[in-house]
Structure 1
Amino acid sequence: MGYRVAVVGATGAVGREILKTLAERQFPVDEIVALASARSAGKEVSFGDKKVLKVQNLETFDFTGWDVALFSPGGAVSAVHAPRAAKAGCIVIDNTSHFRMEPDVPLVVPEVNPNDVKKARRGIIANPNCSTIQMVVALKPLHDLFTIKRVVVATYQAVAGAGKSGMDELFNQSRGSLVGDPLKAEQFTKQIAFNCIPHIDRFMDDGATKEEWKMTVETRKILDPDIAVFATCVRVPVFIGHAEAVTVEFEEPVDIERARAALREAPGVVLHDRREDGGYVTPLEVVGEDATYVSRLRIDPTVPNGLGFWCVADNLRKGAALNAVQIAETMVALDLLGH
């Protein structure tokens, strides 16, 4: 039994990754359509190795009779068209930030809170922020063991999080730096090539950036509303793959061997933690991978019941496309899609 699937924002980096992921994981598709803006209508995108889809115009598309739509077109577009699709009876899995904190829209990471998909009363399920997703996947087995009290995280986020234009800017600035060309900062507030920028999204009144706020409120919504989170989010000159240095304070005493065992068994986590040169995983090594990789696991002696670790994931896959597809798979497993 297959499903009628729409991919919205199909010409963008995440949209293309969603199409690739659906094909790779052999999601049960009877019919699939690629949707984007009017200016992209008529372009072609790939679905799997053999099938090519001609992009259709989102604005004139009728979602009636379609089972699920995976949205990644930008928040303003989702705000208009996701409710329209849901009203037509199509389940929407939205990868933008627009609906994430609305109380009647579940925010789901399937390894962490899969049953929350049942709460999609409006027919919309939100995909969390990329940096939040990989962190909560790693935190979930530890929270189950020791109960998290507080998380302090510093992120090292790839330019792919800013889309193709961000990747192009890193490439052009890097090349320009090496040949002595003048450099322009257009997508980022400062030069990103050979630099780090502690600024992602806009600043808020308390001095945090919106990206840091997202990590705080989304972690609470997904994992536990009692967890305190303090985040510093940094854009780094890496094309794909987010990294995070995470320090956790627990309510209960931490046994590091129990923590290791839990992480080894946790869905979506690969523990790769050897205390030797190269015994950890870097962003470059996770491109194209589905898992969240955890390394540098160690006791933090500066706080009661403290533990620190390093985690990395492909932000286009687990941080966006894969998580959205896994939500759809969860809906199938729970018999909540169509038919």
Structure 2
Amino acid sequence: MTKSYHVAVVGATGAVGTQMIQLLEEAATFKIKQISFLSSARSAGQKLTFKGKEVIVQEATPESFNGVDIALFSAGGSVSKKFAEEAVKRGAIVIDNTSAYRMDENVPLVVPEVNERALKKHQGIIANPNCSTIQMVAALEPIRKEWGLNRIIVSTYQAVSGSGVSAIQELNEQSRAVLDDKHFTPEIMPVKGDKKHYQIAFNALPQIDVFTENDYTYEEMKMINETKKIMEDASIKVAATCVRIPVVSGHSESVYIEVEKETDVAKIKACLKEAPGVVLEDDPETQLYPQAANAAGKKEVFVGRIRRDLDNPLGFHLWIVSDNLLKGAAWNSIQIAESLVKLEII
């Protein structure tokens, strides 16, 4: 008899929560016997549909997790800190799409195509990595397995949807204002809670999240630290510069890597062509390369512009693109849930 599960989505009315619900309807390979949509008091009472049935969004409380098997969290780190352990106490496995537990040594940080085996070490909570990290490690892990990896230098070009619905609205309103030559006052970008706000329309902002004491932003440090944890190799040298650009969906990344063993572009392309969850789009003759506009709404990680560095025979450049709300958040969370079922962990 096929087992079925009670699934709760925390942050059900948010951008990622909405994607999670859609993916659970369309793509989940496990059977759902009951669904619970949870949110803050402000959003409670809203009506959503799941497989044709109306579901009322409930305010999240510790008791909300009674009987829940899988709890998908995407409502901010403070909410995860408040309720994740409560959910675990009541028997749920938590898949958390915030930064609250990512660097906790007792919490697996998982991209199923890369380190699915880490799920077996879970103690009730599993962390979903940062969106920009997920797509990068998914593309680089097949290369690392074949030829090793000494160094990664990444520059990101990240969509505003990574900052939520209000950031998308600000981009749209600013764009119209600029085109109509009207005055506007930035209120959200680059970081809503920071001291200053700047124009995002027709601009590029080299700040995502606030700055740390070492002058890197938290987003950059997430990419650095999470990559090493996921790949289980603290010796990999990682540097990141994270930039917000006026694109609604889809993060793009220019990635330079230095491998340990000699290889060539053709072998790397062949390796990525067979890699799970990766789509190779690389043909300079026909101008084929990944684009954020084409990746939007798709679950895969797209890789192209692969070329050897002209000064370092072990160095290679890649262009990596993925939908930040899907593979970068909701889809990776659903994949983790599917892996838990497949590996009979739950």
- State the one-letter code of the partner of 1:271: L
- State the one-letter code of the partner of 1:70: L
Cα distance in structure 2, aligned partners of 1:220 and 1:47 = 38
Which residue of the partner structure matches residue 76 of structure 1? 78
Within the candidate set 255, 265, 271, 2:274 is matched to 265
Per-residue CA deviation, residues 292-330 of structure 1 (Å, 9 max, x unaligned), is: 000101111223401111010000000000000000000
Which residue of the partner structure matches residue 15 of structure 1? 17
How do 1:207-286 residues align onto structure 2 when only pairs under 5 Å count? 207-223=215-231, 224-286=233-295
- State the one-letter code of the partner of 1:312: V
Within the candidate set 108, 111, 134, 1:109 is matched to 111
Per-residue CA deviation, residues 30-64 of structure 1 (Å, 9 max, x unaligned), is: 1001000111111022334x233210110264312
Cα offset for 1:254? 2.1
Which residue of the partner structure matches residue 41 of structure 1? 44
Cα distance in structure 2, aligned partners of 1:51 and 1:232 = 44
Cα distance in structure 2, aligned partners of 1:85 and 1:181 = 49
Cα offset for 1:277? 4.9
Which structure 2 residue ranges, 5 or more long, are not aligned? 190-196
How do 1:62-141 residues align onto structure 2 when only pairs under 5 Å count? 62-121=64-123, 123-141=124-142
Q: Is the 8 A contact 2:62 2:87 kept in 1?
A: no
Which residue of the partner structure matches residue 158 of structure 2? 157
Cα distance in structure 2, aligned partners of 1:32 and 1:336 = 20
Cα distance in structure 2, aligned partners of 1:112 and 1:272 = 20
Cα distance in structure 2, aligned partners of 1:113 and 1:249 = 21
- Structure 1 residue matching 2:42: 3-state secondary structure: helix
Judge which range, 39-48 or 173-182, deviates more: 39-48
Which residue of the partner structure matches residue 192 of structure 2? none
How do 1:149-228 residues align onto structure 2 when only pairs under 5 Å count? 149-188=150-189, 189-223=197-231, 224-228=233-237
Q: Is the 8 A contact 1:254 1:307 kept in 2?
A: no
Q: Is the 8 A contact 1:249 1:305 kept in 2?
A: yes
Cα distance in structure 2, aligned partners of 1:144 and 1:96 = 28
Q: Is the 8 A contact 1:38 1:59 kept in 2?
A: no
Q: Is the 8 A contact 1:20 1:46 kept in 2?
A: no
Which residue of the partner structure matches residue 294 of structure 1? 303
Q: Is the 8 A contact 1:16 1:45 kept in 2?
A: no
Query: Among the aligned pairs, what percent are the same residue?
Result: 50
TM-score (structure 2 length as normaliser): 0.95
Judge which range, 306-315 or 25-34, deviates more: 25-34
- Structure 1 residue matching 2:302: 3-state secondary structure: strand
Which residue of the partner structure matches residue 339 of structure 2? 330
Judge which range, 185-194 or 92-101, deviates more: 185-194
Q: Is the 8 A contact 2:62 2:83 kept in 1?
A: no
Cα distance in structure 2, aligned partners of 1:66 and 1:245 = 41
Cα distance in structure 1, aligned partners of 2:49 and 2:147 = 45
Cα distance in structure 1, aligned partners of 2:174 and 2:294 = 23
- Structure 2 residue matching 1:196: 3-state secondary structure: coil
- Structure 2 residue matching 1:46: 3-state secondary structure: strand
Which structure 1 residue ranges, 5 or more long, are not aligned? none
TM-score (structure 1 length as normaliser): 0.97
Which residue of the partner structure matches residue 35 of structure 2? 32
Which residue of the partner structure matches residue 316 of structure 2? 307
